[in-house]
Amino acid sequence: MKKIIIAVFILSLTQMTQAQKGFKPLFDGKTTKGWHSYGKDAVAAGWKVEDGVLHFDPEAAKNGQGGDLVTDAEFDNFHLKLEWKIAPNSNSGIIFYVNENPEKYKNTYETGLEMQVLDNDGHPDGKITKHRAGDLYDLIQSKSEPVKPVGEWNTAEVISKKGKLTLILNGVTVVETTLWDENFKKLIAGSKFATWPGFGTFKKGKIALQDHGDNVWYRNIMIKQ
């Protein structure tokens, strides 16, 4: 009982500290309020809330019950902070500046930029440059790889302010770039997204958690505008 009380106190203290810094929760730890599956009105069954954690369960996602989870709200200048944990051999991603227009764009990644979430050693993408955990997917390789072993929680941050993008993994800045300038357009032109007209062009959009068909967990999701 004493351990439970201490844990609750620490959690409450953390939430209070973040609130004082201007962060607001995007996930209340109990429901999927504020989220929906891309192109749908509700959250598909593949996404479950378990003990304060958002879990994508591929078994529950069968029969069309999967898909990326997106925020109801859109954001432009923001500081996103969350924790993620991946299963062995698994893949997911934190996608942002998503333009939700399913008639025009069938997937979140057709418009949104992605901070990769991955088991670097177990998933085939780990062998591809710019596809490893913390990378700005297929655009910029991380400066370093402070990712924790599979099964442990990682803290990820996405900071976008007036075109300056910073990705932080476990307290270490791994990517810094300027969005939407000529250099960024060249990065896109040299990537797999070169022929995708909407990719990386939107300056306001939704945040998505990716269903890549694998087990992944997210918690303590918060944002400061």
Residue 147 DSSP class: P
**Is the pLDDT at 7 greater than 90, yes or no?**
no
CA distances from 17 to 11, 29, 43, 51, 160 (A): 10, 17, 30, 21, 22
132, 126 Cβ separation under 8 angstroms: yes
Q: What is the mean pLDDT of residues 202-223?
A: 98
pLDDT tens-digit profile of 105-145? 999 999 999 999 999 999 999 999 999 999 999 999 999 99
If pLDDT is split at 50, 70 and 90, which confidence band does 17 have? low
Residue 115 within a domain: yes
- Nearest Cα residue to 110 out of 155, 61, 168, 70: 70
Residue 27 within a domain: yes
Range of the domain at 117: 23-224
pLDDT tens-digit profile of 46-59? 999 999 999 999 99
**132-148: buried (b, 16+ CB within 10 Å) or exposed (e) per residue?**
bbbbbbbbbbbeeebbe
* CATH code: domain of residue 34: 2.60.120.560
Number of domains in the chain: 1
Residue 5 within a domain: no
Residue 18 within a domain: no
User: Could you please report the per-residue DSSP string of 65-130?
Assistant: ----EEESS-BSSEEEEEEEEE-TT-EEEEEEEE---TTT-SSGGGT-EEEEEE-TTTSGGGGSTT
Residue 16 within a domain: no
Q: Which two tokens stand for residue 125?
A: 């993408």
Task: Name the pTM for this structure.
Answer: 0.91
Residue 123 within a domain: yes
Residue 7 within a domain: no
Residue 54 within a domain: yes
If pLDDT is split at 50, 70 and 90, which confidence band does 41 have? very high
Q: What is the mean pLDDT of residues 14-27?
A: 74
- Nearest Cα residue to 74 out of 204, 202, 208, 211: 204
> CB neighbours of 48 closer than 8 A, spacing ≥ 6?
54, 55, 56, 57, 60
